[in-house]
């Protein structure tokens, strides 16, 4: 297959284009890569593309900085390594091995970074509800269904809930409704929704302590009782959904092509005279 060249860029840099990325993915498809792999690679390189500045240039160190950003966002090492592998492969395809990330992340040691399962997350919510701990229930749900970090928690305000101010994250409608109901019952009309008794934003240590306590009641390992594990669960769930959507897009496109082939394909008119 003919290599699709990138746009011109200064020496030591490459400008990414959707055409070049799609050609790379098409090459992988011809090499027999699975649909799951292709979906993961597409998501990875387009994620890189969106993270780049408007000129879409990749230079030395760009992929290393991207890796650091993914780490800061809480992605698991295996997820980061898949994304780096896709990006490094793209650099090789474009003839710029010198722009690859310098190293992958080492896998975590056994038990070093425990992962919260979806079932354990739902058990935390159910236990908080049974114990009638509404604020704790909402804290778990906010971290597990929005990807919000502890540092951003004070920015989740009453103003953000009713549209009078910006929200730090997109809130799923059912969660937004629950938060508005909680704020109304607590008489919170301004400022952070999650606050201590004296009205100050709830502290990081208090958040983690309460979630760990809930873990004991819910029979969930305490080392999983922290916002970071909840946030990773949200990220992994989002990634799994994107893979499923990508597969549906591929299937729908293939079905459309088959229908068109049946009606206007080269062999569709066998036996029909030339016009």
pLDDT at 26: 92
Q: Which two tokens stand for residue 255?
A: 């079905």
Q: Assess whether pLDDT exceeds 90 at residue 77.
A: no
Helix or strand or coil: residue 30?
helix
Q: Assess whether pLDDT exceeds 80 at residue 153.
A: yes
pLDDT at 1: 40
List domains and CATH numbers for the chain.
14-99 (1.10.150.130), 118-231 (no CATH)
Banded model confidence at residue 273, pLDDT cuts 50, 70, 90: very low
pLDDT at 31: 87
Tell me the whole-structure pTM to 2 decimals.
0.59
Start-to-end C-alpha separation, the chain: 34
Stronger pLDDT, 207 or 111, i.e. the higher one: 207
In angstroms, rounded to a whole number, what is the distance separating the alpha carbons of residues 98 and 90? 12
Range with the poorest average pLDDT among 53-62, 141-150, 226-235, 236-245 = 236-245
Segment 127-136 shows an average pLDDT of 96
On whether the CB atoms of residues 21 and 46 are closer than 8 A, the answer is yes
Q: Assess whether pLDDT exceeds 70 at residue 23.
A: yes
Express each pLDDT in 203-253 by its tens digit.
Answer: 988 999 999 999 999 999 998 999 988 988 888 888 777 767 777 787 888
pLDDT at 110: 47
Segment 51-70 shows an average pLDDT of 90
Nearest to 244 by CA among 1, 23, 39: 39
Stronger pLDDT, 4 or 135, i.e. the higher one: 135
pLDDT at 255: 87
Q: Assess whether pLDDT exceeds 70 at residue 105.
A: no
Give the H or E element holding residue 40: helix 35-51
Indicate the angle between helix axes 35-51 and 62-72, nearest 10 degrees: 100
pLDDT at 172: 93
Q: Assess whether pLDDT exceeds 70 at residue 272.
A: no
């Amino acid at each position: 297959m003919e290599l699709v060249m990138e746009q011109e860029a200064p020496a030591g840099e490459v400008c990414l284009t959707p055409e070049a990325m799609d050609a790379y993915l098409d090459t992988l498809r011809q090499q027999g890569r699975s649909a799951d792999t292709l979906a993961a690679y597409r998501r990875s390189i387009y994620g890189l593309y969106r993270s780049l500045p408007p000129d879409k240039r990749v230079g030395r160190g760009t992929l290393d900085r991207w890796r650091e950003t993914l780490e800061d966002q809480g992605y698991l090492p295996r997820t980061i390594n898949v994304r780096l592998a896709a990006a490094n492969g793209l650099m090789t395809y474009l003839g710029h091995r010198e722009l690859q990330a310098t190293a992958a992340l080492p896998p975590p040691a056994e038990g070093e970074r425990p992962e919260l399962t979806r079932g354990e997350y739902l058990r935390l919510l159910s236990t908080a509800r049974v114990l009638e701990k509404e604020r704790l229930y909402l804290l778990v749900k906010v971290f597990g269904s929005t990807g919000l970090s502890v540092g951003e928690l004070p920015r989740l305000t009453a103003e953000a809930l009713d549209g009078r101010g910006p929200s730090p994250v997109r809130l799923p409608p059912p969660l937004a409704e629950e938060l508005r109901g909680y704020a109304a019952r607590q008489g919170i009309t301004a400022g952070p929704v999650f606050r201590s008794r004296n009205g100050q934003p709830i502290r990081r240590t208090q958040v983690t302590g309460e979630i760990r306590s809930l873990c004991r009641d819910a029979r969930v390992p305490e080392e999983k009782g922290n916002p970071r594990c909840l946030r990773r669960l949200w990220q992994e769930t989002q990634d799994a959904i994107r893979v499923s959507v990508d597969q549906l897009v591929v299937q729908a496109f293939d079905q459309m092509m088959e229908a068109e082939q049946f009606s206007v394909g080269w062999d569709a008119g066998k036996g029909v005279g030339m016009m």
